[in-house]
Structure 1
Amino acid sequence: MAILHTCLNVADADRAVDWYTENLGFEESWGFETPDGETVNRYVADEDGVELQLSDTDGQTPADEGDLWDHLAVKVDDVDAAFEEIDDHGVVKEPADQPAAGARTAFIEDPDGHVIELIEPLDD
């Protein structure tokens, strides 16, 4: 397993990308929009390739300590197997393909309620 990215909820994806690239030297790496068009996800990466996902959802302005971050993403070889094997403390979303993101994902909770996204890249 490897950490892929941490997702931060942001009020304005463009502003967040500008801030991380101009102030911290990150590079914008990629992005996608959810099928319903309500959420824009933009990614910035540091010089080692570690990414932050900046997630901007229409009508939501994160302002409280509990909603500023969303999840930690972990790469796995097989999402379905990992989902079955990991001793989770809550299922947030069962395994499903996410074609816009090019991955199969599942979301679980750790013992303290932090959301962990399991990601298996889809074959091209």
Structure 2
Amino acid sequence: MTRPHHFGVTVTDLDRAVEFYRHTFDLDAVERFSVSGAAFADGVGVEGATGRFAHFVLDGARIELVEYDPAGPARDDPTVNRPGATHLGLAVDDLDAFYADLDPTVETISEPRTTESGTRILFVRDPDGTLIEILEP
């Protein structure tokens, strides 16, 4: 049976990313660890790769932040409609309250909007430009 385990986000600075996710989404990192060695490098397909990780647990699934060494090139265009684009989706009970409490330094795509389906959405970017959809179903 397939079930969610984690959703991975590659970051350039793990400590900065952990602080952003903690502060913006009121999360606590439950686990921090490093991985290296030939099996890891072969498994991720990056010669000599090592990784520093932090996990946040949400309803049984994890958000996994990982900083790789060596780091790869930055994405040229993280726009959500590009094939292969990804985003992380997080639900909140009150999107307007979340938006009102959002640190003004956090980049947003727009103010909260209500879609045709009735779902309220807000897209923000983490410090590396990863899109995060905040929604109120």
TM-score (norm 2): 0.42
Higher radius of gyration, 1 or 2: 2
The structure in which a higher percent of residues are strand is 1
